[in-house]
């Protein structure tokens, strides 16, 4: 039966990825759709292969014994069992088609890959999809289906295949030389990376030493700060006590100043008493009185001054 959706689509097996691939041939590229489904498995392994010419075969006529035995077949004891088995063998299931496989994947996205398919010289079912970076090996259902696929590719993409075909082939020696150059370049890069790693290790060791010294300096500074804080607290306590003493001395000084002011006022109010005591002292000094007299005079003066101070204190 003709189906336009499956006319340019083929089902291959991808052994490297352990899955199936639907390959659709477009005008300038090939679309790929990897999938793992039961219908794809049934179609690849159980669907009828494409029609191909076959040689003329001669149908053998049944033998005479078989002809004689055929009318008596239903009279045997195993006729019912044999008929049941023959009915089971005759019964066939409807085969899975490529349209059924596509029907299960209505929303899948195809991957467009510009490549050139080529046939394998070793196997008649293997197809190589060659791109600029890699090669994918796919297995077809049969050699006839592979031939159909390659013919359709040559029909749809003649220019791409011609360009791929005209590319110069690389010999084994050239490939080995290229690989050697690549290995040498990678070895040089590895040596450079090793040198960079060595320099980085030396820098890490140097940074570690500097960090160790810095850690020691930080420890010493923390200890000094702790001692300074202790001394500073002691000095603050001393200053606080001195401040209290200064405040107390200021209060006492104000008290003494107040008392002296009161004494000046009292002396100003009693000038005769003070003048008489001063004159008497002068006269006594002039007469050179005995020592006991001076002691008595001093005691009297002290007593008078004490009385005056006591009066002022009260």
**Cα-based distances in Å from 20 to 41, 252, 302:** 8, 111, 134
Rounded CA separation 133/113 (Å) = 11
Rounded to the nearest 10 degrees, how much is the dihedral formed by the CA atoms of 98, 100, 104, 109? 30
Rounded CA separation 149/147 (Å) = 5
pLDDT per residue over 19-40, tens digit each? 999 999 888 788 888 888 898 8
Rounded CA separation 12/137 (Å) = 10
**Residue 213: what pLDDT?**
92
**Residue 246: what pLDDT?**
85
**pLDDT mean across residues, the chain:** 76
Q: What mean pLDDT comes out for the span 141-160? A: 85
What would the two tokens of residue 66 be? 């078989």
Rounded CA separation 113/135 (Å) = 12
pTM of the predicted protein model = 0.42
Length of the chain: 314
In 3D space, the residue among 313, 293, 301, 311 whose CA is nearest the CA of residue 273 turns out to be: 301
Rounded CA separation 24/130 (Å) = 16
pLDDT per residue over 71-106, tens digit each? 555 554 444 444 444 444 434 456 788 888 888 776
24 contacts: CB under 8 Å, gap ≥ 6: 8, 9, 10, 30, 31, 32, 33, 110
Q: What mean pLDDT comes out for the span 139-163? A: 82
């Amino acid at each position: 039966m003709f189906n336009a959706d499956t006319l340019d689509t083929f089902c291959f097996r991808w052994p490297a990825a352990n899955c199936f691939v639907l390959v659709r041939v477009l005008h300038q590229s090939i679309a790929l759709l990897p999938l793992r489904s039961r219908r794809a498995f049934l179609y690849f392994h159980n669907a009828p292969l494409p029609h191909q010419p076959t040689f003329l075969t001669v149908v053998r006529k049944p033998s005479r014994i078989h002809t004689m035995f055929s009318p008596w077949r239903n009279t045997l004891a195993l006729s019912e069992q044999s008929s049941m088995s023959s009915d089971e063998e005759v019964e066939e299931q409807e085969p899975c088609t490529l349209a059924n496989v596509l029907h299960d994947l209505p929303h899948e996205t195809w991957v467009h890959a510009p490549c050139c398919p080529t046939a394998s010289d070793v196997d008649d079912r293997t197809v190589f999809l060659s791109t600029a970076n890699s090669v994918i090996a796919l297995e077809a259902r049969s050699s006839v289906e592979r031939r159909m696929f390659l013919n359709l590719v040559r029909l749809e993409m003649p220019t791409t295949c011609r360009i791929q075909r005209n590319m110069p082939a690389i010999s084994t020696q050239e490939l080995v030389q290229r690989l050697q150059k690549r290995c040498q370049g990678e070895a040089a890069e590895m040596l450079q990376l090793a040198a960079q790693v060595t320099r980085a290790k030396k820098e890490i060791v140097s940074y570690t030493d500097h960090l160790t010294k810095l850690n020691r300096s930080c420890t010493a500074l923390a200890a000094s700060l702790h001692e300074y804080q202790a001394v500073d607290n002691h000095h603050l306590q001393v200053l606080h006590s001195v401040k209290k003493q200064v405040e107390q001395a200021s209060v006492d000084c104000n008290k003494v100043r107040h008392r002296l002011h009161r004494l000046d006022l009292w002396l100003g109010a009693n000038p005769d008493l003070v003048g008489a005591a001063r004159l008497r002292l002068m006269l006594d000094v002039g007469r050179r009185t005995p020592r006991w007299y001076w002691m008595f005079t001093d005691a009297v003066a002290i007593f008078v001054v004490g009385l005056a101070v006591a009066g002022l204190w009260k």
